């Protein structure tokens, strides 16, 4: 399964959007990207969502240091993933004062060559987000099918518990009315709990119907 989280590191290494320049701490490379937004209006920050990559030409704060400081703080406050500034439009390079001010808030800056359009960047990111979502859905469906096959082929409670424990990285206990508790020690895995929730509901329903 692909890593479900799209990160700033992926964007910087994306071959379709080349020659990007990154200004920020290396630990910000793991910042997640859940969408893309454009800001060329100083009143547009409230419409930006958490973990969005923000694109701008820089026109809104061109030669206005006070507005620049205000916008960088506001972008930090809404947990913007990074601010991408198209160069060779209003800025030949990202000014040093802008880099220093963004560093105060640990807000990554990315210089984007003028030949990359907003639509190109959005297309690449939204396509990757969709592909990862489809991949994760296919993974859940496939693993659910495996679990159901264990159930229908009488694979045994031990096999079913072992499979569940591999997803939750935990010990699973199921106690019957005699207080007997089969235990499985989980391997060291870190996979989402969605399948676990579905499967536990299946086991509980089966147990309930059996008691009846």
pLDDT digits (tens, 9 = 90+) for 96-152: 999 999 999 999 999 999 999 999 999 999 999 888 877 666 777 777 777 777 767
Q: Which DSSP string corresponds to 82-141? A: EEEEETTTS-SS--HHHHHHHHHTT--EEEE-TTS-HHHHHHHHHHHHHHHHHHHHHHHH
- State the pLDDT at residue 131: 86
Q: Which of 106, 94, 97, 93 is nearest to 27 (CA)?
A: 106
Q: Which of 141, 149, 196, 148 is nearest to 170 (CA)?
A: 196
142-189 pLDDT, tens digit per residue, is 777 777 777 677 766 667 777 777 766 666 666 655 655 444 444 444
- State the pLDDT at residue 91: 86
- State the pLDDT at residue 132: 81
| Residue 85: Cβ within 10 Å count | 23
- Please provide the average confidence, as pLDDT, over all residues in the chain: 79
- State the pLDDT at residue 182: 47
Q: Does the structure show a pLDDT above 90 at 84?
A: yes
pTM of the model: 0.67
- State the pLDDT at residue 34: 94
CA 113 vs. chain centroid, Å, equals: 25
- State the pLDDT at residue 163: 73
Contact 33, 6 (CB under 8 A): yes
If one compares 161 and 72, the residue with the highest pLDDT of the two is 72
Q: Rounded to 5 degrees, what angle do the CA atoms 152, 193, 197 make?
A: 50
26-36 pLDDT, tens digit per residue, is 999 999 999 99
């Amino acid at each position: 399964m692909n890593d479900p989280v799209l990160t700033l590191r992926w964007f910087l290494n994306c071959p379709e959007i080349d020659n990007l320049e990154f200004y920020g701490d290396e630990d910000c490379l793991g910042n997640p990207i859940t969408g893309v937004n454009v800001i060329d209006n100083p009143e547009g920050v409230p419409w930006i969502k958490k973990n969005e990559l923000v694109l701008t030409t820089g026109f809104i704060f061109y030669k206005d240091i006070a507005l620049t400081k205000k916008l960088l703080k506001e972008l930090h406050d809404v947990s913007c993933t990074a601010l991408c500034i198209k160069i060779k439009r209003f800025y030949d390079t990202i000014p040093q004062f802008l880099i220093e001010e963004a560093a105060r808030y640990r807000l990554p800056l990315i210089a984007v060559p003028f030949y990359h359009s907003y639509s190109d960047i959005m297309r690449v990111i939204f396509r990757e987000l969709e592909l990862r979502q489809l991949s994760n859905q296919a993974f859940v469906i496939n693993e659910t099918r495996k679990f159901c096959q264990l159930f229908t082929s009488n694979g045994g409670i031990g096999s079913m518990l072992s499979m569940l424990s591999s997803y939750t990285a935990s010990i699973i206990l199921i106690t019957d009315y005699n207080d007997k508790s089969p235990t499985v020690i989980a391997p060291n895995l870190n996979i989402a709990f969605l399948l676990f929730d579905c499967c536990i509901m299946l086991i509980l329903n089966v147990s309930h119907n059996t008691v009846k």
